[in-house]
Structure 1
Amino acid sequence: MASNDHGQVGGQGLTEFVDRYKRYMQQKEETNEFIRDLLVYADSVESNLREENSQLHQLLGNTRLDLDDATKSRRDLQLRLRDMETRLGIAPDRNPYVMVLIDGDGLLFKEHLVRQGAVGGRKAADELRKAVTEKFSYAEETPIEVVAEIVANVSGLSKAMKRDGCLDNEATLYDFVSGFNQAKAPFHFVDLGYSKDAADAKLLCSARFHLRNFNCKLILMGVSHDVTYAPYLDHLIHDETFKQRIIVLEGCPTVQDIVSTGITITSFKNIFRSDKLRVHSPQSETTQAASPPPSVSYAAITQTKASPPPQITLPIPLKRANTPARTVKPPTPAWNPGPRGLDPLIQVNSVALERLKKRKGGDKLCNNHFLRGPCTKGDECDFEHNYNPTKDEKNVIALFARLSPCTKGQDCDIDNCIYGHHCPSVVNGICSHPHCKFRVDEHPPGTKFKYPRHADW
């Protein structure tokens, strides 16, 4: 019995050992499999890291190239800027200046200055520079320069000033201009002769040039008397870049069209006249027996009136009983507005007139372009250029231009001047234009006005 029990115990120990061995081998196999999987995963991670590292090295290399290129470009730009500043003789904000642009046919210096000739010209330049510097100082540490350009028809202006009585000799104005030019290097008084278009174009081109110059801090434009500058000024003040850099310099009160733009207006009352030249008509012209027929006006065409009944003239006067004799008044002499006289008649087709009246805003035709063309303002003009008007339409355009007064009035000696030299809107003694721009003395004596007027200047 004892041997059998011992055999049973020995058999159970062997079975247990075999089971443990199997479990060990299974665990070992699992461990080996885990290690193989771990090695595969580690190899995959290492491969990915190597690939990412390679990409980062490539990006770093490209970034270094970009940085080197940017550094080189910046240095090149610095060298070019320094070279440009050296050649131009300027540096940013080290040469600020105020530009004074004056239409000398309308903005006139005080009489006491002009009468002094060359001495007065130098005084006028000094006073103008001093007034601008005191009123528009730019920075305390940087002195500001004043540059002045005046354009005018010196010959025509000297004659007008002599007729006005503020000059005894026309040569005095030439002496004044010479003195003005001699006073300061950047001061120029330019005689442009009889071309009004040349004066307008020169001032506007100068304004555009200086507004694009960063050293130009301000532009004073002495054009308060001339309505033709209003569209250009209106265009400028709607540009935020230029709005704060342009001011109208006033002599005689500014025309309403410029005031309506909202532009800033200033004046130097001790330097410039606040009144216009007076017009004196020669005695021989006031006693002329006949004058040209009055021009057809805008008001005359738009008003429809019945024709007067026909009059019958008999070869032998009829006798009337108890009819008192009537005194026949002599005909009233035709009105003569001044030296230039009345503008010639413009025949206008009413259909063409109504057609062009319907064009509004920027669709309106440019008077200068179609009457004298091409327009000196080019693409910056606010009116239409791309149009082919008929002959009748050109007559209407000429009529519209007549509604704007010529800045020289009766002193104008330009034969083909397109502007009006007296009001063309007077019909039967009544001015019917709602926004008449002519002064009272540019209407026939006794003219009544259908609409309220602004104060004359």
Structure 2
Amino acid sequence: MDNPALFEARWAKLQAAEDEKTNLVQDLIKHTRELETKLSDTQAKLEREHDVADMYHTREKEQKGHLHKLTQALAKMSYISVLVDGDCMLFNQDLVTAGEGGGRQAARLLRSAALAHVRSVRDLPANTEAVVRVYANIHGLSKAYADAGWIPTLAAFGTFANGFNKEDAYCDFVHAGDGKECADEKMRAIFRMSVDSCQCQHVIFGGSADNGYARLLGSYRGADKITLIEGPPFAKEISELAPSFSILKCTEVFSATTQIVSKVSTGRALQTRPATASNSYATALSNPSMLPPVDTNQSQRPTGAQAGVPLTSGLARNAAGQRIDVPLIYSGKAMKKVKARKLCKKWHIIGSCSYDTDRKPCVYEHSARVDENQLAALRGLARFSPCPKGLQCGDTSCILGHQCPKTNCTNGRDCNFGKKLHGVDTKIVSWD
């Protein structure tokens, strides 16, 4: 008979095995419950994520629809901006002479040329409009055109501008004011606004005969949104920038010159920049188009008008009513030449000399007159002698200086000009 202890040992092993089976089943049940819980949590999370995805999908569809509508709305309001400085961009004579009909034709030609050009360089919505604005000193232009014989009266130019405005609702010929800066400031402001506008597809800029716009255009060098109009030749600084932009030649609208011949001043070439332009010395010296013109066909004995006196035949004055010497343009080489000669300034500049009489001739040179550049230099040299009447001088033939011509002069002992003739406001606001 077997030993009972062996049975007990065997029973113990079986009992241990059963306990292990029980523990295994319990562990499996526990793990299954944990998996079920995780599965439930995952399903709930997936449902939430699905709901979020549906929400974002719905929002995306709504945003796409809104964006499409916005794009359509912007396309309906898309335009190109055509900006013209009428003071330096002359319209062709046949257009100005034709009055209202010429104004209408100018607007029509400019608008169609602008749209055709832009469509050749970029894609445009089919309904793109051309918004054309011409800013100018209409009073100054009227006088220039009337003096040249293009129009019979000053008021006649208004019919041209009226026709330009009436041709199309998007075409405006705007009187910017009586000073140069009025048109310039408006041009700059509308130019920047147009370039930054998402509705403006392209900007066509017509002011390239004026060096004053070089700084404005320089900051947009290479921008494919900008085109320059070439009517008259580009000013020196603008010509250096021109290769960075596309060019629109519009010879059917604009003259190839910035000057017209005045019939009231012995055939002088008349600058169309208004004589009342608000110029400082520094501005004028950097921009010759802002200076009064000088005759290039003078007789051997020059008259006051031929010697560079402004076409207005008046005196330039600042806001305080003080006389201002109009800036001059001449080379250093010309100044050296006139300094080296003993020229009679009065004779060469105004054509007469009070010191030259039969009894006692003038000791200074009255020979063949100097050329245009030397004449300007001679006028500049004369201004280094102060006028006794200073800022109150009303003599239109006076060639002396009415404020110190030196740059940054400290009014030291070596200066012949009095204290009141320094720091003078040189901004010209009127002529008389």
TM-score range, shorter chain: 0.5 to 0.7
Mapped contact 1:96–1:215 kept (Cα < 8 A): yes
Out of 136, 146, 162, the position equivalent to 2:146 is: 162
Q: CA deviation at 1:218?
A: 1.2
Out of 10, 26, 30, the position equivalent to 1:43 is: 30
Whole-angstrom distance in 1 between the partners of 2:397 and 2:33 = 101
Q: CA deviation at 1:38?
A: 4.4
The structure having more radius of gyration, on CA atoms, is 1
Match in the other structure for 1:19? 6
TM-score after normalising by structure 2: 0.59
Counting only pairs closer than 5 Å after superposition, residues 339-350 of structure 1 correspond to structure 2 as 345-349=404-408
Counting only pairs closer than 5 Å after superposition, residues 329-344 of structure 1 correspond to structure 2 as 329-331=364-366, 335=375
Whole-angstrom distance in 1 between the partners of 2:97 and 2:423 = 44
Q: CA deviation at 1:228?
A: 1.7
Q: CA deviation at 1:232?
A: 1.7
Mapped contact 2:177–2:183 kept (Cα < 8 A): no
Q: CA deviation at 1:287?
A: 7.3
Q: CA deviation at 1:152?
A: 0.4
SS of the residue 2:407 aligns to: coil
TM-score after normalising by structure 1: 0.56
Match in the other structure for 2:55? 68
Whole-angstrom distance in 2 between the partners of 1:117 and 1:415 = 29
Residue-by-residue CA offset, 1:177-223 (whole Å, 9 max, x unaligned)? 11111111111101122132221222222223333433322111101
Return closer, same or farther for 1:272/1:345 CA change in 2, 3 Å cut-off.
farther
Q: Which stretches in structure 2 are left out of the alignment for 5+ residues?
A: 267-302, 310-314, 316-323, 341-360, 380-395, 412-418
Out of 120, 136, 144, the position equivalent to 2:118 is: 136
Task: Give the AA of the match of 2:155.
Answer: A
SS of the residue 1:248 aligns to: strand
Match in the other structure for 1:250? 230
Q: Which stretches in structure 1 are left out of the alignment for 5+ residues?
A: 1-10, 309-325, 353-390, 402-412, 417-457
Q: CA deviation at 1:158?
A: 1.8
Whole-angstrom distance in 1 between the partners of 2:410 and 2:331 = 15
Task: Give the AA of the match of 1:255.
Answer: A
Return closer, same or farther for 1:109/1:93 CA change in 2, 3 Å cut-off.
same
Whole-angstrom distance in 2 between the partners of 1:163 and 1:141 = 45
Task: Give the AA of the match of 1:98.
Answer: I
Task: Give the AA of the match of 2:212.
Answer: T
Calculate percent identity across the aligned residue pairs: 22
Out of 256, 259, 264, the position equivalent to 1:277 is: 259
Q: CA deviation at 1:327?
A: 9.2
Whole-angstrom distance in 2 between the partners of 1:269 and 1:69 = 57
Mapped contact 2:164–2:173 kept (Cα < 8 A): yes
Task: Give the AA of the match of 2:114.
Answer: V
Whole-angstrom distance in 1 between the partners of 2:66 and 2:366 = 83
Whole-angstrom distance in 2 between the partners of 1:234 and 1:55 = 62
Task: Give the AA of the match of 1:259.
Answer: S
Task: Give the AA of the match of 1:170.
Answer: L
Out of 54, 71, 78, the position equivalent to 2:41 is: 54
Q: CA deviation at 1:60?
A: 3.5
Return closer, same or farther for 1:351/1:22 CA change in 2, 3 Å cut-off.
farther
Mapped contact 1:164–1:277 kept (Cα < 8 A): no
Match in the other structure for 1:268? 250
Q: CA deviation at 1:237?
A: 3.2
Whole-angstrom distance in 1 between the partners of 2:248 and 2:62 = 45
Q: How many residues were matched structurally?
A: 319
Return closer, same or farther for 1:198/1:230 CA change in 2, 3 Å cut-off.
same
Mapped contact 1:296–1:347 kept (Cα < 8 A): no
Whole-angstrom distance in 2 between the partners of 1:135 and 1:91 = 24
Match in the other structure for 1:30? 17
Whole-angstrom distance in 1 between the partners of 2:398 and 2:195 = 41
Return closer, same or farther for 1:258/1:330 CA change in 2, 3 Å cut-off.
closer
Out of 199, 203, 221, the position equivalent to 1:219 is: 203
Residue-by-residue CA offset, 1:11-59 (whole Å, 9 max, x unaligned)? 4xx24x8636633530331332243144135414523651563365256
Residue-by-residue CA offset, 1:45-85 (whole Å, 9 max, x unaligned)? 52365156336525643662574377358648956985x79
Return closer, same or farther for 1:68/1:132 CA change in 2, 3 Å cut-off.
same
SS of the residue 1:190 aligns to: strand
Mapped contact 1:346–1:395 kept (Cα < 8 A): no
Return closer, same or farther for 1:140/1:266 CA change in 2, 3 Å cut-off.
closer
Mapped contact 2:209–2:258 kept (Cα < 8 A): no
Q: CA deviation at 1:132?
A: 2.3
RMSD, aligned CA: 4.7
Q: CA deviation at 1:96?
A: 3.6
